[in-house]
Amino acid sequence: MSIYLDHASTTPLRREALEAMLPYLSEHWGNPSSIHRSGRRARQGLDEARETVATLIRAKPREIVFTSGGTESDNLALSGVAWAASARGRHIVTTAIEHKAVLQESALLGRHGFEVTYLPVNRDGLVDPEAVAAAITDRTILVSVMAANNEVGTIQPIAEIGSICRSRRVPFHVDAVQAAPFLPIDVNAWQVDLLSISGHKLYGPKGIGALFVRQGTSMVPLLQGGAQERQRRAGTENVAGAVGLAAAYTLAAEETTHAAETDRLIGLREALLQGLVATPGVARTGHATLRLPNSASMVIEGIEGGDLVAALDLEGIETSTGSACTTGSVEPSHVLLAMGIEAERARGSLRLTLGRENTAADVATTIEAVTRCVARLRAAVGKGEPAQAPAAMSGAPSV
Ligand SMILES: Cc1ncc(COP(=O)(O)O)c(C=O)c1O
């Protein structure tokens, strides 16, 4: 039996979401743009899904654009707003630790004449709202800051940043792909204008996401064609995907509100971290408390993260070094480097992200297996345990 500890990469489709989707993959197969009965039935499913997602983040249904996932939502937010505002200004503010879906799109805009400011973070992975305020100029047309980081789980002061952007009249985009399964989202309290979510990170299907676009925000579409999604995203809609996303997000939000599952995950996360940092040369990364409940990340001296992930996989424990999108890359994580962790140490990164099905027994098995695999990998390269445990990577109190 395997233990899956890679929920930040993707989550299993939950039964309720699958069941909600099935009618739209069988009898309700119509095109939601068609006028006839089959079309209207599909339209009804899509409309209900839109209303559900809107209600969950305190938005209006007309402000929800269904996309193919978090990547497209991020791309659309950045390029859509940038090109719509390009006559007014060409400056974008983002951070050095964003997901590649934001960083690569920003780089592309950079090649098309936009100026991009990449804000630094501290050793916990936190962005300073004052730095956001200082970076905004009268040419700034967008600020994009993620709600929670996918590699180290650090949660940003989004409401504070939102208030700064609102007072400076700059549209604010938030990548909430990792945060949505765990944090209650209120686009008005956060004062955001655009917000990305993804189905497969919250026990919904892959290939579906949503972008909240506040009414009145100017945005050009990425995809040209039909008039779907109020002309903001052409193409026949993924009705079953939208229905599955709405069903999964509803259940995830209920769990977030009731706190019991959040507390359970925090308990498991802390047990994992405490068990693992007991090994010399293991230091947690990210903020001690301002972090996603399910996310445990660390750097381990004397090993390559990829080797450890492969060794654990042979033991039936599925983990990652960081982002799935950078798996296979030999480069150390841009997130860890931005947090001031030296490249050599960043190579020994391990990310364990818990989920609904994980238990205390999984945690105990994982601590034992990681400890054993680390010792074996260190012995193989002739590096025993470091003489002394290094200081925690986080500036906050370490466990
Ligand atoms: C923070 C963040 N943004 C965006 C994405 C991209 O989402 P998707 O896989 O739905 O394209 C991910 C996925 O890893 C993510 O973690």
Q: What is the pLDDT of residues 204-250, one digit of tens each?
A: 999 999 999 999 999 999 999 999 999 999 999 999 999 999 999 99
Average pLDDT (52-62) is 98
Ligand 1: centre distance to CA 263 (Å): 24
> 101 CB under 6 A from ligand 1?
yes
Q: What is the pLDDT of residue 329?
A: 56
Nearest CA owner, ligand 1 atom 5: 70
Instruction: Specify the range with the lowest mean pLDDT, choosing from 15-29, 30-44, 222-236, 319-333.
Output: 319-333
| Separation CA 28–CA 10 (nearest Å) | 27
- The DSSP symbol for 6 reads B
Reported CATH class of domain 15-255: alpha beta
CA distances for 232 relative to 48, 60, 192, 228, angstroms: 19, 16, 18, 7
As a whole-number percent, the residues of the chain with pLDDT over 70 amount to 94
Q: Binning pLDDT at 50, 70 and 90, where does residue 323 land?
A: low
* Average predicted confidence (pLDDT) for the chain: 94
CA 183 to chain centre: 12
Nearest CA owner, ligand 1 atom 8: 70
Q: What is the pLDDT of residue 1?
A: 78
- The DSSP symbol for 239 reads H
Assess contact for 231 and 211: CB atoms under 8 A.
no
Ligand 1: centre distance to CA 308 (Å): 24
Helix (H, G, I), strand (E, B) or coil at 170: coil
Assess contact for 45 and 55: CB atoms under 8 A.
no
Ligand 1: centre distance to CA 315 (Å): 27
| Separation CA 77–CA 81 (nearest Å) | 6
Domain assignments of the chain as residue spans, ordered by start:
3-9+259-380, 15-255
Common-topology check for domains 3-9+259-380 and 15-255:
no
Average pLDDT (288-316) is 97
Pick the CATH number of 3-9+259-380 from 3.40.50.300, 3.90.1150.10, 3.10.580.10, 3.40.190.10: 3.90.1150.10
pLDDT at 393 over 80: no
Assess contact for 123 and 287: CB atoms under 8 A.
no
Q: Which helix (H) or strand (E) holds 165?
A: helix 158-167
- The DSSP symbol for 368 reads H
58 closest CA partner among 149, 145, 183, 147:
183
For residue 263, what are its two tokens? 């507390």
Q: Binning pLDDT at 50, 70 and 90, where does residue 361 land?
A: very high
Q: What is the pLDDT of residue 390?
A: 47
Q: Binning pLDDT at 50, 70 and 90, where does residue 394 land?
A: very low
Ligand 1: centre distance to CA 150 (Å): 8
Q: What is the pLDDT of residue 350?
A: 98
Q: What is the pLDDT of residue 395?
A: 35
Average pLDDT (305-330) is 84
Q: What is the pLDDT of residues 156-166, one digit of tens each?
A: 999 999 999 99
Mutate-to-test residue for ligand 1 from 177, 196, 292, 294, highest number of ligand atoms within 8 A of CB: 177
Catalytic residue positions, numbered: 325
For residue 228, what are its two tokens? 């779907």
64 closest CA partner among 208, 178, 184, 165:
208
Q: Binning pLDDT at 50, 70 and 90, where does residue 322 land?
A: confident
Q: What is the pLDDT of residues 177-205, one digit of tens each?
A: 999 999 999 999 999 999 999 999 999 99
Average pLDDT (144-153) is 98
Q: Which helix (H) or strand (E) holds 173?
A: strand 172-175
Helix (H, G, I), strand (E, B) or coil at 45: helix
Q: Binning pLDDT at 50, 70 and 90, where does residue 259 land?
A: confident
Q: Binning pLDDT at 50, 70 and 90, where does residue 324 land?
A: low
> 285 CB under 6 A from ligand 1?
no
DSSP state letters, 110-148:
HHTT-EEEEE---TTSPPPHHHHHHH--TTEEEEE--SB
